[in-house]
Amino acid sequence: MNMAEITEHIVHHVKDPKTIEYGFGEIVLPSFNTPFGTFQLTRYMLIEVLVAVILLVLFVPLARAVKNGKPPKGRIFNMLEAMLLYFRDEVVRPAIGDKKTADRFLPYIWTLFFFVLTCNLFGLVPFLGSPTGSLAITAVMACSTFIVVIGSGMRKFGVIGYWAGQVPHMDIPFGLGYILKPMIFVIEVFGLLVKHFVLAIRLLANMFAGHTVIAVFLSFVVMREVVVHTYLWVPVAGASIGMIIFMNMLELLVAFLQAYIISFLSALFIGMAVHQH
């Protein structure tokens, strides 16, 4: 492979493809004509549906068992319960503050964490990919958190009260507030938008970068300049495979870490909305 082919391979590895690859070929996903245009089914869409099904299969029986007062049995259910309780006691309640208020947002934070985590883990499966490596998907998650944040704030303080509360109380001379308060309001609203934009970019950048690095190391094995020289290919291939294994282990850590970070920041932003200046 020359550099142009390698570049195309790397880009193909991290973009949302319209095919599903398997060991000996690929399946082209169909498109559908709608009144609003052509709807193209993509691999990430199918993975997200599969993730939703997996979460339903895991958590619906667990929820039914807990609702009926039965203790969860089995290693998987015990592990899931431990993770749920950790997020409730160590993440959501401390970030939001009020126990009763925090518990109202637990379903959203739990769903966000496990959905992002499972999507991240799919990126470690050969021939698949991580939907969280797409800006469209991380942006939707950030927009969801943004809607929950402003919705919870306006529900508690009212529409006018919430947006007026973006400007903290200040003891300033008469007349100066007419200049400073509008400026501070614009800065606070801009900061609110930036925080949620960064929420999407943070997850995207980490997942995209990790998969790109793995694709780069993988491309070293098939570089034309290396393949034609046996004495070069053996050490380069060995080193590349070693780095790919190391990066996959690192990606496993990143998968959990980024799911935790986006969930923690979402809880923190909600806490800031329901407890103003």
For residue 174, give the H/E element and its range: none
What is the average per-residue pLDDT within 70-98? 84
Instruction: Provide the pLDDT for residue 213.
Output: 76
User: Maximum distance among all alpha carbons in the chain?
Assistant: 81
The CA distance from 265 to 95, in Å, is 9
Label residue 39 by pLDDT band (50, 70, 90).
confident
Kindly provide the residue ranges of all beta strands, DSSP E only, lying in the chain, ordered along the sequence. 19-22, 25-28, 31-34, 37-40
pTM value? 0.82
Q: How far is CA 192 from CA 95, 188, 197, 253, in A?
A: 17, 6, 9, 29
**Secondary-structure percent of the chain, ordered helix, strand, coil, rounded to 5:** 75, 5, 20
Residue type present at position 116 = V
Residues contacting residue 133 through CB under 8 Å, at least 6 positions apart? 14, 123, 204, 207, 208, 211
pLDDT tops 70 at residue 72 = yes
Q: What is the residue-wise DSSP string for 156-224?
A: HH-HHHHHHTTSPP----TTTHHHHHHHHHHHHHHHHHHHHHHHHHHHHHHHHHHHHHHHHHHHHHT-H
Instruction: Provide the pLDDT for residue 8.
Output: 53
Q: What is the DSSP letter of 73?
A: -
In tens, the pLDDT along 169-201 reads: 777 776 776 777 788 888 888 888 888 888 888
Name the residue with higher pLDDT: 185 or 128: 185
Cα torsion 188, 191, 196, 197 to 10°: value is 140
The tally of domains found in the chain comes to: 1
**Full domain range(s) for residue 143:** 3-274
CB 41, CB 29: distance < 8 Å: yes
Any long-range contacts for 244-249 (C-beta under 8 Å, 24+ apart)? Answer: 244/214, 244/217, 244/218, 247/210, 247/213, 247/214, 247/217, 248/124, 248/214
Count of beta carbons in the 10 Å neighbourhood of residue 184: 15
In tens, the pLDDT along 209-263 reads: 777 777 777 777 666 555 555 666 677 777 777 877 887 788 888 888 888 988 9
